[in-house]
Structure 1
Amino acid sequence: MPTYNTIMSLCAGAGLLLVVALGWLLLTDRPVVPDAWAMGFGALGVILFATGLHMTLTWPLAGQGFPFDNVIFGEPSLGFGVLLLFAAFFLWRRGAALGEVGVDRGRTVAALAAPVSLLVLGLGLACFGIAAAGWRYTLFAAPPEEPISGEFAGHPMLEASFMSALYVLTGVGAVLFPFVLRRRGGAVAWTAGICWTLAGLAFLLFGALNYFTHIGLIVNTM
């Protein structure tokens, strides 16, 4: 039973890329238009919050198929969605503090995001747990009826390793986030940025591909 991790993956990937892009603008002292970023974070946050909350509270959403999807996709989407919504609210109401070039915006962001960085760290550790479960129990493998991904149904560890690796990349960036705030640049920031960029691109493209593969799976199993 496919769930709506299509739109979740798409928005999570876009959200990771936007976070990296905004961080790069702030660290390199480039102009920022707060209202534009508020709309970007807000749109993604609403989708991830709504779908993540429904999947988290409707337990299990896919009772006849993959109930572990509630934990794997629902709860991380809910957490990320809430973070994006609060970031959007701040940028909308107080974003002028980040719109000025020349001030120490890195120090301002670090002070504001320090408390919530504990949640980001926790979500990163959760991503490691999801990745370990994916490898241990060979999750994420597509059924043979699913187009494209189903071609590798005989090699379940392949897709399990791919998806678990994405969660590891996301987790590394999240675990490093508090240290990025503390150092405001350097190798730690670049490492987190690269991890989230790679994971964001992969989640975005994989989510877009799933629109075809999930529709095909539904049609093939009707």
Structure 2
Amino acid sequence: MISHALPLAASGLKIDWTKMPTYNTIMSVAAGAGLLLVVALGYQLLDSRRTVTPEGWALAFGAIGFTLVTTGLHMTLTWPLAGQGFPFDNVIFGEPALAFGVFLLAAGFYLWKQGAVVAGDADRVARTARIAGPISVFVFGLGLACFGIAAAGWKYTLFAAPPEEPISGEFADMPMLEASFMSGLYVLVGIGALLFPFALRRPRTWMSPVIGVVWALAGLAFLFFGGLNYFTHIGLIVNTM
């Protein structure tokens, strides 16, 4: 997932990794896990038969949120983080990771302080919807951003791996393949984000299951793709040092 056209040396692609910090591996794993946990918590809240243990969710959201905020904030504020031609990575990966991490940290803090009150409310769904209402405006805006990122990925054929990257590099001559895969994930996240404010107003309608499905699919893809990238990125580093 280290993308795009890089300069070729006589002996093949060479990268000065001292000028090319990258950690969208851990960001991808964290974002995937965060999406899956948001869906799981929403499912628990909507099912009145299930008991919600807020302390566990606070710990999970806090840990994932901290990971995304620290990496996303550094990537967002260090311009460009990747000094060899990828300033758009700051926008594509850094800013969404930062925003999602802030959401998770805020949710984790709230659940730590007030989670027992929410879990014990006779109508915990309505209470949660009222609490999440104001922040849903930001979620909606980031949904629009996800569609913008996806459109840029398709138009400029971003996300394509170089041949030196294991597995993903096998498809280097088909740049639209990985571009479509990654852009498609942003579309899935964007659909859920755009529906989120409206689902809060009517949480027991078709919108909640749709959000759950698209975020779960994107979460699984980010989680497993991020895990795979630990191998592919290490291989790219070894092959281009």
TM-score of the superposed pair, with normalisation by structure 1: 0.98
Matching residue within 98, 101, 114 for 1:81: 101
Shift of 1:66: 1.6
1:95 alignment counterpart: 115
Mapped pair 1:69 → 2:89: yes
Shift of 1:2: 6.1
Shift of 1:100: 2.1
2:69 alignment counterpart: 49
Is the CA contact (8 Å cut-off) linking 2:21 and 2:81 kept in structure 1? no
C-alpha distance after superposition, 1:151-190 (max 9, x if no partner): 0000000000000000000000011111111101221001
Is the CA contact (8 Å cut-off) linking 1:2 and 1:214 kept in structure 2? no
Structure 2 stretches lacking a partner, 5+ long: 1-19
Matching residue within 192, 196, 200 for 1:173: 192
Give RMSD over aligned pairs. Answer: 0.9
Matching residue within 48, 59, 62 for 1:39: 59
Within-5 A mapping of 1:65-144: 65-100=85-120, 103-144=122-163
- Which secondary structure state, in structure 1, belongs to the residue aligned with residue 51 of structure 2? coil
CA distance in 2 between partners of 1:153 and 1:185 (Å): 44
Structure 1 stretches lacking a partner, 5+ long: none
Structure 1 ranges of 4+ moved more than 4 A: none
1:23 alignment counterpart: 42
Matched AA of 1:164: S
Is the CA contact (8 Å cut-off) linking 2:159 and 2:179 kept in structure 1? yes
CA distance in 2 between partners of 1:161 and 1:94 (Å): 41
CA distance in 2 between partners of 1:78 and 1:171 (Å): 16
1:189 alignment counterpart: 208
CA distance in 2 between partners of 1:59 and 1:119 (Å): 23
2:78 alignment counterpart: 58
Shift of 1:149: 0.1
- Which secondary structure state, in structure 2, belongs to the residue aligned with residue 95 of structure 1? helix
Matched AA of 1:54: H
Shift of 1:99: 2.1
Matching residue within 129, 138, 161 for 2:180: 161
- Which secondary structure state, in structure 2, belongs to the residue aligned with residue 186 of structure 1? coil
CA distance in 1 between partners of 2:21 and 2:172 (Å): 16
CA distance in 2 between partners of 1:218 and 1:65 (Å): 16
TM-score of the superposed pair, with normalisation by structure 2: 0.90
1:218 alignment counterpart: 237
Is the CA contact (8 Å cut-off) linking 1:52 and 1:76 kept in structure 2? yes
- Judging by fraction of residues, say which structure has more helix: 1
Matched AA of 1:38: A
Matched AA of 2:145: A
CA distance in 1 between partners of 2:54 and 2:42 (Å): 13
Is the CA contact (8 Å cut-off) linking 1:146 and 1:217 kept in structure 2? yes
CA distance in 2 between partners of 1:117 and 1:67 (Å): 29
- Which secondary structure state, in structure 2, belongs to the residue aligned with residue 3 of structure 1? coil
Is the CA contact (8 Å cut-off) linking 2:32 and 2:223 kept in structure 1? yes
Count of residue pairs brought into register by the alignment: 221
